[in-house]
Amino acid sequence: MRADDAADPDRRSRERATSLDPALVKAIGGALAVVSAFLEKSGVATTDDFAQALGIYATVSRGENEDEGLALAYWAATLRDVAEFNRREKG
Contact 48, 76 (CB under 8 A): no
Asked whether residue 5 is assigned to any structural domain, the reply reads no
Asked whether residue 48 is assigned to any structural domain, the reply reads yes
Which domain range does residue 61 map to? 10-86
What confidence tens digit (pLDDT) does each residue in 23-58 have? 899 999 999 999 999 999 999 999 999 999 999 999
Asked whether residue 80 is assigned to any structural domain, the reply reads yes
Q: Is 42 helix (H, G, I), strand (E, B) or coil?
A: coil
Highest mean pLDDT among 1-5, 50-54, 60-64: 50-54
pTM: 0.76
Contact 87, 31 (CB under 8 A): no
Asked whether residue 91 is assigned to any structural domain, the reply reads no
Asked whether residue 4 is assigned to any structural domain, the reply reads no
Closest by CA position to 81, among listed 45, 32, 39, 44: 32
Q: Indicate whether 22 pLDDT > 90.
A: no
Look at the chain and report how many structural domains it folds into.
1
Asked whether residue 17 is assigned to any structural domain, the reply reads yes
pLDDT score at 76: 97
